[in-house]
Amino acid sequence: MKIEKYSFGLMIIESKQYTSDLVIYSNAIDATWWRKQGHRLLPEDLEDILVHEPERLIIGT
């Protein structure tokens, strides 16, 4: 999976444009992910992600 472009509010991955928060797994993209409380990232926001036991977790913009 190739990230072709990223900037504030935009990511283009494999020629598809995304304008919302994403969780990118090695074989899939979850474009429906959303934090429970506005712009704050809470531990419970990560529960569904950590179930997959990722090697890396990168959080940022």
Q: Would you place residue 1 in the very low, low, confident or very high pLDDT band (cuts 50, 70, 90)?
A: confident
Tokens standing for 43? 């531990």
pLDDT for res 14: 95
Q: Would you place residue 61 in the very low, low, confident or very high pLDDT band (cuts 50, 70, 90)?
A: low
| Domain residue spans of the chain | 3-50
pLDDT for res 33: 87
pTM of the complete model: 0.75
CB 21 within 8 A of CB 30: no
What is the helix (H) or strand (E) element at residue 49, kind and residue range?
helix 47-50
What are 22-36's pLDDT values in tens digits?
A: 999 888 999 998 888
